[in-house]
């Protein structure tokens, strides 16, 4: 899996940061892209990447503030002209359906693919073939949500020594053993996959939080994430201001990452009051609490290993 940050600013677009949008690339079998939030000009940001809008088949909206949704009608409309005819499912808070339907109806936009809009609430669980997405309501004045994406565990490594000890030479049979619960062979009888595989490999966990005040109670939701994406609208000195505007600081983002025992924190949603010269200080504040922290700029690309 890979993550591309299409917009990393808070509230208003600036010369250096567009407003919120994050693309999660599901490689391998799925070959899909899931989009998290879709602020104004997201489709323009996409033009600067290798992302194909037709590959976007799921969109997750954290909340209904304009800097997270104003790009959505345009993206949905343009997708019709860019070879996208596969269905799209859109998840988000109550009111999302009215917003999308009204924008498309009034603009007389016609989509040549079906869309499904599913409004979420705290505790919603979304099941996909290889992923489960858990939803948690945050603290932002209006309903705002976090998404915890948990990948299904994958089969462990093939234990070649065990196969060779049974006299099974390397070849196509190895792949069949790994791909099937059991196979019936002429020379070796019934071979059960469980007898020749190591422990399952745990799936990856990516947690993407919408705009929110910091709360210690979020710890269990982000726990053991391979990547936590969390807002850092303000610097550490502006904790009172962050609370007033229902946002978080760099230090609070890092504290949540540390308490949640996550592997990697990526901060986003940076206020336009901070310029390029301030970024090093913002990152330093967080790294003093949690070392494995990055501060995302637009088009920052992160590969999840």
C-beta atoms surrounding 11 within 10 Å:
19
What is the C-alpha to C-alpha distance for residues 240 and 237, in angstroms, rounded to an integer? 8
Catalytic residue list contains 67: yes
Decide: residue 113, CB within 10 A, 0-12 exposed, 13-18 middle, 19+ buried: middle
Shortest CA distance to 133 belongs to which of 62, 232, 201, 71? 62
DSSP 153: P
- Is 34:92 a contact under the CB 8 Å cutoff? no
3: left (phi over 0), alpha (psi -120 to 50) or beta: beta
- Is 294:34 a contact under the CB 8 Å cutoff? no
Query: What is the dihedral angle through the alpha carbons of 148, 213, 302, 225, rounded to the nearest 10 degrees?
Result: -40
Both tokens of 220, joined, read 């269990």
Active-site residue, from 67, 211, 226, 298: 67
C-beta atoms surrounding 58 within 10 Å:
21
User: Looking only at Cα atoms, what is the longest distance across the chain?
Assistant: 73
Q: Which residues are catalytic?
A: 67
């Amino acid at each position: 899996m890979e993550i591309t940050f299409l917009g990393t600013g808070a509230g208003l677009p600036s010369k250096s940061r567009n407003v919120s949008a994050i693309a999660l690339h599901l490689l391998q079998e799925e070959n899909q892209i899931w989009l998290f939030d879709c602020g104004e000009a997201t489709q323009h940001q996409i033009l600067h990447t290798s992302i194909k809008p037709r590959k976007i088949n799921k969109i997750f909206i954290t909340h209904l503030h304009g800097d997270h949704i104003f790009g959505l009608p345009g993206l949905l409309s343009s997708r019709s002209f860019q070879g996208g005819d596969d269905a799209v499912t859109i998840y988000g808070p109550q009111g999302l359906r009215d917003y999308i339907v009204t924008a498309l109806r009034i603009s007389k936009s016609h989509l040549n693919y079906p869309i499904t809009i599913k409004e979420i609430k705290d505790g919603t669980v979304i099941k996909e073939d290889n992923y489960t997405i858990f939803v948690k309501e945050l603290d932002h004045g209006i309903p705002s949500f976090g998404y915890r994406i948990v990948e299904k565990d994958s089969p462990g490594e093939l234990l070649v020594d065990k196969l060779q000890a049974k006299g099974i030479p390397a070849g196509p049979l190895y792949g069949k053993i790994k791909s099937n619960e059991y196979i019936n062979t002429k020379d070796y009888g019934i071979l059960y996959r469980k007898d020749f595989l190591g422990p399952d490999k745990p799936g990856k966990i990516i947690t993407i939080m919408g705009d929110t005040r910091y709360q210690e109670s979020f710890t269990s939701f982000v726990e053991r994430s391979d990547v936590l994406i969390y807002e850092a609208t303000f610097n550490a000195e502006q904790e009172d201001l962050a609370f007033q505007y229902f946002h978080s600081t760099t230090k609070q983002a890092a504290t949540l990452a540390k308490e949640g025992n996550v592997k990697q924190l990526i901060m986003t949603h940076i206020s336009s009051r901070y310029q390029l010269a301030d970024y090093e200080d913002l990152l330093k504040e967080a790294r003093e609490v949690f070392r494995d922290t990055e501060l995302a700029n637009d088009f920052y690309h992160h590969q999840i290993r």
